[in-house]
Structure 1
């Protein structure tokens, strides 16, 4: 009975870790949670945020927007426009249950088998990825729903981090 309780406690702790919010910061390594960016041409960047296991997709999207706003300001621009947006990720790492059946005939004898298996992912890799291609500009932002005032985005999203 103690072993069952210990196992359930460990699963609860690991499940709580998996659902924790992703920290905001640079990604360390190609599969690490965090942001990365690269310059396509002057004033145009690809900004990507990879959430950790269990990170809510909305948080990942907000963090990508926040990084685009920070990058826009550090590059000396006032606004950015999203020209391409991609969301991807791996399926959730929650527990899985599978059932299998099989049969065979061996030298006049017949056998039937049934198997049940379980698995639980213990993490590794992002759960959601938001990638934005942004074009940056000076002065008043264009009247486009995909154009954002960098200071406004930063002031709104920074307190949520």
Structure 2
């Protein structure tokens, strides 16, 4: 019985050690979040991670944190895009970026880009990273009835559990 408890505790500890953390990036290309205020109530948020889904979720989490710190209730994504960096691979590589935007007057757009990389230095076989970037505006009161608008408290509560 003691061994089963010890094995369970070690497995739980190993899971905590290997889980990626939610932290600010230590550099422009480092894993983690970066955020910048563009003007009052408008921010640019990005998150870099090896997992593209986690990169987007953690960018949403950071957007919710900024919104709540701003004393606001909701945020709306006005631009969103992802950039995958596989430049660490030897022999070059490709990357695909997908972006979208929503502007005033109900106009929106989506774009897709494909790039080819050529290694100019000594490349390694390092795993690629994805940076998910979004620009948001924050607001108070009832959330707009738009798919690009998010309730900051709900996002914070739901994604904080998965942030590691």
Same fold (TM over 0.5): yes
Partner of 1:39: 37
Distance 2:34 2:20 in 1: 14
Any stretches of 5+ residues in structure 1 without a counterpart? 1-19, 97-118
Distance 2:19 2:129 in 1: 11
Offset of 1:89 from its aligned partner? Answer: 1.6
TM-score normalised to structure 2 length: 0.64
Partner of 2:161: 159
Distance 1:81 1:130 in 2: 16
Q: Secondary structure at the match of 1:67?
A: helix
**Structure number with bigger Rg:** 1
TM-score normalised to structure 1 length: 0.65
Q: How does 1:137-148 map to 2 (within 5 A)?
A: 137-148=139-150
Offset of 1:122 from its aligned partner? Answer: 3.8
Distance 1:72 1:145 in 2: 17
Q: Secondary structure at the match of 1:153?
A: helix
Do the aligned partners of residues 92 and 58 (structure 1) sit closer, same or farther apart at CA in structure 2, a change above 3 Å counting?
A: farther
User: Does the Cα contact within 8 Å between 1:38 and 1:46 map onto a contact in 2?
Assistant: yes
Do the aligned partners of residues 21 and 56 (structure 1) sit closer, same or farther apart at CA in structure 2, a change above 3 Å counting?
A: farther
Offset of 1:56 from its aligned partner? Answer: 1.4
Q: Secondary structure at the match of 1:89?
A: strand
Distance 1:148 1:72 in 2: 10
Q: How does 1:36-115 map to 2 (within 5 A)?
A: 36-51=34-49, 55-91=50-86
User: Does the Cα contact within 8 Å between 1:141 and 1:148 map onto a contact in 2?
Assistant: yes
Distance 1:50 1:21 in 2: 15
User: Does the Cα contact within 8 Å between 1:21 and 1:56 map onto a contact in 2?
Assistant: no
Offset of 1:142 from its aligned partner? Answer: 0.2
1:27 to 25, 32, 53: 25
Q: What is the root-mean-square deviation in Å for CA atoms of aligned residues?
A: 2.1
